[in-house]
Amino acid sequence: MYYSATSLKKYISCPRKFKHMYIDKVYPIIDKPERLARGTNIHELLDYYKSKRMKFNPVLPDITLSLSDKIMAELWNIHYKNDGLTYVSSEKRFSTQIKGVKFKGILDGIVEDKFGNTCIIEHKTTSKVVNEDYFLTVNFDTQVLLYALCCKYMGYKIDYVIYDVIRLINKKKLVKTANPEYYKRDCKYGKKGDLKPGNRLEDETHSEYKNRIINFAKDNIRTHLVRREIPIEDSELIKFEKDLFQIIRSVKAGAFYKNQNACKKGRFLCDYFLVCNDEITLDNREFFSENYQG
């Protein structure tokens, strides 16, 4: 069995869920959440730009991206063009063994900075505000530490991790809100027949929409493209390795207890909720499949 950052995070959040997914190998039948597909597709476009920087001749990926996501990826490419980083690899799949246990993952990038330091670059996309709170727990992010540890065992000396965050823009195309023929009776108009703020006579054209997104992104570039350097100390990796093997021992010992605090996230119930409540079983093919849907 290979462990990944995703499976480890799953165990940390709820060991029972980990069991259903990675031991029983039974997965909920769901559409991939839009926000996940969005992140994956942006990663593909960033990979295209990074490969170009490595002087490869990449093919533009055939992916579905909203206009605003495409613009953010393009701005990322322009904004960081002269960041002094030399890409050694991009979207590199790896697998390695640590003390006989197998791990795998995908490194968004390995780069060298202008001082000769070797770094992992880790892309994140979010709709949240990227402020100090966002970075509060980044120093013990399981993925960052796992990847740094795996790199160490693969022979790379990682000096720091670059946490590269793109805050996505969620702006829809503006549509017309009033019929001009009835403007006098329409409550969207003021006494003089002028449109009240926020109302439009015509749908926004594609180029108006594009310009609005570009201008917004450029005006807010410092809050929408944010990087943070996370130093990787050997002492941190030693502590993380201990925690990691504590988890592995728990998995091997069959400690798959339920964590009721993880059953509901916002409005959403865990996909295995009915199983944990003994209302259905994992062999219910209306809800579950043996094929991973992620």
Q: Are 187 and 148 in contact (CB under 8 A)?
A: no
Residue 263 CA neighbour count, 13 Å, CB half? 11
14 part of the interface to ligand SF4, by CB under 6 A? yes
Number of residues that bind ligand SF4 (CB under 6 A): 12
> Interface with ligand SF4 includes 259 (CB under 6 A)?
yes
- CB-nearer residue toward ligand SF4: 104 or 258: 258
Determine the interface stretch with ligand SF4 among 30-38, 132-140, 257-265, 279-287 (rule: CB under 6 A): 257-265
Q: CB of 129 within 8 A of CB of 165?
A: no
Q: Please, are residues 121 and 229 in contact by the beta-carbon 8 Å criterion?
A: no
Candidates 77-85, 134-142, 164-172, 270-278 — which segment interacts with ligand SF4 by CB under 6 A? 270-278
Closest separation in Å from C-beta 14 to ligand SF4: 3
Binders of ligand SF4 in range 271-290 (CB under 6 A): 272-273, 276
**Piece of 55-63, 131-139, 159-167, 252-260 that binds ligand SF4 (CB under 6 A):** 252-260
The residue among 214 and 280 lying less far from ligand SF4, judged by its C-beta, is 280
Q: Which residues pair with 85 in a beta bridge?
A: none
Stretch that binds ligand SF4, among 145-153, 158-166, 198-206, 267-275 (CB under 6 A): 267-275
Q: What does the alpha-carbon distance between residue 156 and residue 172 come to, in Å, rounded to a whole number?
A: 44
Select the span of 62-70, 105-113, 191-199, 262-270 touching ligand SF4 (CB under 6 A). Answer: 262-270
Counting beta carbons within 10 angstroms of the beta carbon of residue 118, is it exposed (0 to 12), middle (13 to 18) or buried (19 or more)? middle
Rounded CA separation 190/97 (Å): 70
Q: Quick one: tokens of 186?
A: 């329409």
Binding track over 15-54 against ligand SF4, x by CB under 6 A: -xx-------------------------------------
* CB neighbour burial string for 208-245, b if at least 16 within 10 angstroms, e if fewer: ebbebbeeebeeeeeebbbebebebeeebbeebbeebe
Question: Of residues 88, 214, 255, 262, which one binds ligand SF4 by CB under 6 A?
Answer: 262
The DSSP-derived string for 200-253 is -SSPPPHHHHHHHHHHHHHHTHHHHEEEEEEE--HHHHHHHHHHHHHHHHHHHT
Smallest distance from ligand SF4 to CB 263, Å: 3
Residue 12 interacting with ligand SF4 (CB under 6 A): no
Least CB distance to ligand SF4 at residue 288 (A):
12
The binding site for ligand SF4 (CB under 6 A) comprises 14, 16-17, 258-260, 262-263, 270, 272-273, 276
